[in-house]
A and B are shown apart, each in its own frame.
Chain A
């Protein structure tokens, strides 16, 4: 049982390049989330999904797109990377829907992205 995994662990991009971050979970969770972590700012929600085939915007969605074609995978795309997107990106999943008392999020190890 691997939990939540993220690929890749590190990446360096040039401004304007594109890339996709992959998140996979083997816990059969319905709900998945993408966060970014920046110094002094805590974690901020980018996009989330409440089930296969669904996605929704979080707090800071601009410049990112997501897809949830399979229940176990949640992809985060950057179409045209900018230096402001330099960050550590975390994926998370949960069994219960947001707002339910049993909603505990399980996090992946993170992807460190640098945009030059």
Chain B
């Protein structure tokens, strides 16, 4: 069974500092990995995804994520945090090798990012 873990419920960072939101995963095959962001009272918005190729994936709003197969991680990063980055961030995984039916996306429980002015 596939799973994804976001070990931190909340991450606080000062504006201008680099930020990291952690994600680890477990799948039987090679994973498709996603990051979504959710602003208050809004739906999830797609940020970036890793399918194959370069381990460093660049996405929207200056975010990037690094795929590390040996550590089964896909941490979200940004060099300089903005107050407007404050939101709930979800990591998600899909196992594209699954052939038993619908290839579901498994979401993590979310990490609240608070950027302090």
Known contacts A43-B90, A56-B102; is-contact A104 B49 (Cβ 8 Å): yes
Chain B contact residue count (CB 8 A cutoff): 25
Find the B residue at minimum CB distance from A5.
B43
**Minimum CB–CB distance for A1 against chain B, Å:** 15
Main secondary structure of the interface of A (DSSP, over half): loop
User: B103–A90 contact, CB under 8 A?
Assistant: no
User: B108–A99 contact, CB under 8 A?
Assistant: no
A63 contacts the other chain (CB 8 A): no
User: B90–A90 contact, CB under 8 A?
Assistant: no
What is the CA–CA distance of A38 and B115 in the complex, to the nearest angstrom? 24
User: B107–A58 contact, CB under 8 A?
Assistant: no
What is the CA–CA distance of A9 and B43 in the complex, to the nearest angstrom? 11
A-B contact count (CB 8 A): 56
User: B43–A108 contact, CB under 8 A?
Assistant: yes
Taking CB atoms, residues of chain B closer than 8 Å to A90 are: 43-44
Encoded as 1 (CB less than 8 Å from any B CB) or 0, chain A from 59 to 77 comes to: 1000000000000000000
Find the B residue at minimum CB distance from A102.
B51
B20 contacts the other chain (CB 8 A): no
User: B43–A104 contact, CB under 8 A?
Assistant: no
User: B109–A110 contact, CB under 8 A?
Assistant: no
What is the CA–CA distance of A109 and B39 in the complex, to the nearest angstrom? 10
Partner of B46, one of A45, A99, A105, A110: A105
User: B45–A110 contact, CB under 8 A?
Assistant: no
Within 8 A of A (CB), among B81-113: 90, 94, 96, 98, 102-110
User: B107–A43 contact, CB under 8 A?
Assistant: yes
What is the CA–CA distance of A99 and B2 in the complex, to the nearest angstrom? 14
Encoded as 1 (CB less than 8 Å from any A CB) or 0, chain B from 32 to 54 comes to: 10101000011111100101100
B binding-site residues for A, Cβ under 8 Å: 32, 34, 36, 41-46, 49, 51-52, 90, 94, 96, 98, 102-110
The 10 A-B pairs of least Cβ separation, nearest first, read A107-B43, A99-B103, A42-B107, A43-B107, A107-B44, A101-B51, A98-B103, A42-B109, A109-B43, A108-B43
